[in-house]
Amino acid sequence: MAKLTVKQKHWLLSAHIIFAALWTGTVLSMFLLSWTNKQSNNPEVLYALHSAVNLLDEYVVIPAATGSVLTATFLCWLTNYGFMKFWWVISKWFLTISLVVFGTFWLYPWSNTAEEIAQEQGLSAFSDRVYSLDIQGVFFGAAVQAILLVVIIGISVIKPWGRQKIINHK
């Protein structure tokens, strides 16, 4: 497979950075909304904040994470980065896939359940054990995602750890 030209690589890298920035900024917004939500004293606001978190997740985080993974795949495939040549690339893949799995199987369901309970119970939701666990999960999950996304960005900039020794490099 032919490698990208420098100009093509820059365009693809720019798209990758835009997707990563969207993902990171939206997760930070979700964290702040879930923090605000823990102190709500109006049932309509409580539901609206949960709804906003879910809308951000569905319409920004999921497409941005998908775009980030796709552009990363093409960057690894069509440039000299490769998939397994550098420890920093391997680390980014591991962290990114972990975030996608965590978001898909835990964070997203917690957030959806919290929204449903807030809609049904209003402020009484705060005394519901499932709701309490779910909003804590969303709050801490969004915080962990934000921190790990910042770490991934740091790894992208610093590119620590160099080449892997096991792979025969050409």
Taking 60 as the threshold, does the pLDDT of residue 170 lie above it? no
Q: Is the pLDDT of residue 84 over 60?
A: yes
In terms of phi and psi (left: phi > 0; alpha: psi -120 to 50; beta: otherwise), the region of 122 is: left
Place of tokens 């960005």: 153
Q: What is the mean pLDDT of the chain?
A: 93
CATH architecture of 6-158: Up-down Bundle (1.20)
Q: What is the mean pLDDT of residues 6-35?
A: 96
Does the model's pTM come out above 0.75?
yes
> 15-28: b or e for each residue (b if 16 or more CB lie within 10 Å)?
bbeebbebbbbbbb
Q: Is the pLDDT reported for residue 74 higher than 80? A: yes
Q: What are phi and psi for residue 163, nearest 5 degrees?
A: -80, 150
> Per-residue pLDDT averaged across 139-148, rounded?
96
